[in-house]
Amino acid sequence: MTLEISRAHADAILEQSRAEYPDECCGVILGPVGSGNALRLKPMINAAHSPTFYEFDPKDLLGLYREVDDHDEEIVVIYHSHTETEAYPSRTDIAYAGEPGAHYVLVSTRKQIAPSTEFRSFRIVDGAVTEEPVVILD
């Protein structure tokens, strides 16, 4: 399944990843329930403040799900950055992936090899990773 995302959102995520470097950054994009449309960008705080781990604070997490419910929304995209490695789900990412319906977006801030615009999306279901095409809408 293709992820369609606006240029503004993609740019904002890449910008956030650079701003929070050397820590990983994270966040979500929300959309109307059932639509699959990634419409509302919501950067989240990486409570782990780490270059190798990210985690939504449990209180923020509950607030997020309450907000999503109240607005009849769903989490369409869960994104985070890798600081020095490929924008591909790590073993930890796979172990923790708890939203089978979400697009897991990864970006990377590593300086070599990767273009600064590296922006990839995956499904992670029952431990299986499937990369999917990304269409950035101008």
Partner 1 sequence: MSIEVRIPTILRPYTKDQKNVEATGATLADVITNLDSQYAGLGERLLENGALRRFINIYVNDEDVRFLGGLQAPVKDGDSITILPAVAGG
Q: Compute the least distance from the CB of residue 65 to partner 1, in Å.
A: 6
Task: Rule CB under 8 A: choose which of 34, 59, 113, 138 binds partner 1.
Answer: 59
Q: ∠ at Cα 99 (80, 7), nearest 5°?
A: 45
> Does residue number 20 form part of the binding site for partner 1 (CB under 8 A)?
no
x/- string (CB under 8 A) for partner 1, residues 63-92? --x------------x-x--------xxxx
Q: How far apart are CA 39 and CA 58, in angstroms?
A: 24
Name residues whose C-beta falls within 8 Å of residue 15's C-beta, 6 or more positions apart in sequence. Answer: none
CA 123, 124, 125, 129 dihedral sign is positive
> Does residue number 61 form part of the binding site for partner 1 (CB under 8 A)?
yes
Cis-peptide into 89, omega within 30 deg: no
Complex with partner 1: residue 7 or 130, whichever CB lies closer: 130
> Does residue number 128 form part of the binding site for partner 1 (CB under 8 A)?
no
Q: Compute the least distance from the CB of residue 11 to partner 1, in Å.
A: 22
